[in-house]
A and B are shown apart, each in its own frame.
Chain A
Amino acid sequence: MDAIALDKLMSRVEKPARYLGNEWNMTKKESYDFRFALCFPDVYEIGMSHQGSRILYHVLNSMDGVYCERCYAPWTDMERALTEAGEPLFTLETKSPLKDFDIVGFSLLYEMCYTNVLTMLKLSGIPFLASERDGSYPLIVAGGPCTVNPEPIAPFFDAILVGDGEDMEPEIVNCMRRARADGVSRTELLERLSAIEGVYVPSFYEPVFENGRYVRMERKNPLAPERVRRRVVRDLDKAPYVGRQLVPHMQIVHDRVAVEVMRGCTRGCRFCQAGYIYRPVRERKKETLLSQTRDLVRCTGYDEVSLLSLSTGDYSELHELLPRIIDDMAEQKVSVSLPSLRIDSLLKEDLEKMQTVRKGGLTFAPEAGTQRMRDVINKNVTEEDLLRAVTDAFTAGWCGVKLYFMIGLPTETDEDILGIADLARKVSACFYRLPKEQRGMGFRVTVSVSTFVPKPWTAFQWVGQNEQEEIRRKQQLLKTAMKGVRGGELHCHPSVLSVLEAVFSRGDRRLAPVLVDAFERGCRFDSWAEHFKPDAWAEAFAANGLTMDEYAYRERDPEEPLPWEIVDALTTVSYLKREWNRAKEARTTKDCREGCNGCFGERCEDYCRISKE
């Protein structure tokens, strides 16, 4: 794109730094023979915060002759400017159109970004459907957690990568290079790709529907695997990390050094898709983490480090690692933050230590208001745990706490809803019980309530979501109950969006035309309240003879075939059924660090170290 055209576009958008590139640590390459466009279907400040993309950017650019560039979803002002100027969407590194790349790869982190994928393809002049693209177009691929149910977006992609990407992505690049050298057809390329563990080629399969329901998947190419097994990086300690982390010019959502201490979680919360699809738990050694942290702080100049994982408090060497990292960083005035700490793992000394550097916000996620409900979801946290943790925090000087809950959980009653307010009241009492001179000022207990969305590959994958009216009734009930909680504040997420999320997370291939239809009716950035168009979505479903209710609210029979079973997520369906039955009886399942629960069935030994211990 020429300089004046770019200036003209930039002059028309609110935040031009989103499209600028040239950040510190950006990879520049002069000679390369393979171009990879790493695309994120949301705005720059969100996409740039995604750790997975950071890893892939580093891994791909470490390959000889491969140049990986980035592209994010343009905000609506840039989309308009590009459309009016007739210019294609461009990458940040070399300002090239996506059509010029060999592979265009999208990271799919949440279902509500699907329409943005279409925006990005449209602005690149790339047809939406794989069946409408010949070999002259780039290979369009997707990866990320959403691909454990690839079906709703399957027709858009030539290949979909399920599981950890750091080994898989270089393999697909090399596979494509070899295929090109061998001069093979597009179909043969896809056949070769489908032989890579974790790669799903949707055009080789056709879902069959009878009486409006999914019944089975028909394999159209005998070379394609029967099921696509989720890919797993076995040794995280030796796996590549982010190398030289990019330092953006503008402020991004997670604007700090992020060090991934482990992948996976052993807790087994039954609602949590991440807890199931990142198994088994894999840790990095503390020495590795210390040296990675030092390197990253040195090469970025950031003054904040975050120790990243699904449950950092469970990291087995945390109490040796934390004091060393904090001391190391305090010298350089770098603060250390720990997202996703669990209540029971939070120690008073750690809190006091963290406070010496900087006092961050304090967030706990009891997820449910009563012990019975927490047993159903297997969130093995007790009221005593929570009250002890907040009392420690309040004594250490914190005077605000945020509590996360879900409503609409299976077997939930009004008593469970009222339990949320009750818990907030007890937390508040913990603060005011302290002598005045021992506690801070301006106390706040913020209760944040979201609507439960049943997800594939969890124990709750069969559950029907609460209908919107019921959710609103429960929200109202809670609102009333929260009155009179001293320092209490209630935030309820709107429930409309959760319905759409439920639809797409457990959807099938019939939803792809609905997505295209909704896109054409103007749906973009659906997770942004100001852009979400519920009416346009309703019209798109109606036009395709489908209803959201069927996908979101219907409880599935555990014997019913499910469209996402084309993927083998390693956790077996029979294990999920067992968990679902235990949930209905409010029986908990132990943390698998205390002993193997057998979630991978006969493959436990192959895939999980814990099963051998």
Chain B
Amino acid sequence: MRIIAAFQKNKEISYTSHLDVQRTLQRAFRRANLPLAYSKGFNPHPKLSFATALATGYTSDGEWFEVELDRPIEPQTFIDRVNPVLPDGMRVVEAFEADDGIDTLSKLIRAAHYELTVHFDAPVSEQQVQNAVRSIMGNEPVIVDKKTKSGVKPADIRPDILEASVKEVSDSSAILDVVGTLTAAGGLRAETFVRALFDRLHLNGFFTAHRISLCFEGSDRLPRLR
């Protein structure tokens, strides 16, 4: 049986990596005494996979994963057994049994919706931030140094940005709402968007990111693109 589920990742454990989260879930499943299906071979491990990774430091309202079980179990029972054994800051919020034939999550994912809180190293006005976002959302390429496996390269991130708007600006920080593409092949990275914003404002600083949702195609049970 395959369970598809989503968890929240909150501030308390936001600074864990994707690998850390993977280990945390596996150990929680063992503490919950779930009938996990194991891979064959010398190092048997539970069959657990994720729609996508969440970058270290980000929080999220819904990170989707799938896990194989040897025996069927009610999705609600799954939630009730896992949540008490998850560390603070992590909670399963939704779970359902995967229909036969539904593709793996990493093939269905299309986009991600973020709330970015940017702290600039100097005060900014709402107008400045609005102008910068408008400039990014124009028709021109948005060239940013992008970290790839083979080093840092300039790249146009404009095609990856689907929506961007300013929610709030106060003193030296701004809250932005951004939707970017996200597939197994890649997509928008919040840090490159913020880089583009810094470039336009001639400022520096740091940011925190919250993923409001992931967006999928091909299943009614998964959140879709607006």
Contact = CB atoms under 8 A, between A and B. Distances in A.
Contacts of A16: 15, 56-57
Interface in B22-40: 23-24, 26-31, 38
B87 A17 contact: no
Contact of A7 (B12, B16, B208): B208
Given A24-B27, A301-B28, A303-B30, A17 B206 contact: no
Contacts of A302: 27, 30
Given A16-B57, A24-B87, A359 B38 contact: no
A11 interface: yes
Given A8-B119, A17-B20, A300-B27, A333 B206 contact: no
* A16, A22, A251, A299 pick with most chain B CB within 10 angstroms: A22
B31 A4 contact: no
Given A301-B85, A358-B42, A11 B57 contact: yes
B20 A249 contact: yes
Contacts of B150: none
Nearest to B10: A22
Interface in A276-301: 298-301
Nearest to A23: B87
Interface in A349-402: 358-359
* A16, A24, A247, A302 pick with most chain B CB within 10 angstroms: A24
Q: B-side binding surface: helix, strand, loop or mixed?
A: mixed
Nearest to B31: A301
A126 interface: no
* A7, A10, A300, A333 pick with most chain B CB within 10 angstroms: A7
Contacts of A300: 27, 31
Interface in A317-359: 332-333, 358-359
A20 interface: yes
Contact of B31 (A3, A10, A250, A298): A298
B26 A301 contact: yes
Contacts of A26: 87
Contact of A20 (B13, B31, B42, B119): B13
B27 A247 contact: yes
Contacts of A19: 15
* B16, B26, B119 pick with most chain A CB within 10 angstroms: B16
A250 B17 contact: yes
A16 B57 CA distance: 8
Nearest to A355: B42
B99 interface: no
A7 B208 CA distance: 8
B204 to A, nearest CB: 12
Interface in A1-59: 3-4, 7-8, 10-12, 16-17, 19-20, 22-24, 26
Nearest to B25: A301
A498 B97 CA distance: 59
Interface of B: 11-13, 15-17, 19-20, 23-24, 26-31, 38, 42-44, 56-57, 85-89, 119, 206-208
13 contacts: A3-B11, A4-B119, A7-B208, A12-B206, A16-B15, A19-B15, A20-B16, A24-B87, A26-B87, A249-B16, A300-B31, A301-B29, A303-B30
Given A11-B207, A20-B15, A302-B27, 11 more contacts: A7-B206, A8-B119, A10-B57, A11-B57, A12-B206, A23-B87, A24-B24, A247-B27, A249-B23, A300-B27, A359-B42
Interface of A: 3-4, 7-8, 10-12, 16-17, 19-20, 22-24, 26, 247, 249-251, 298-303, 332-333, 358-359
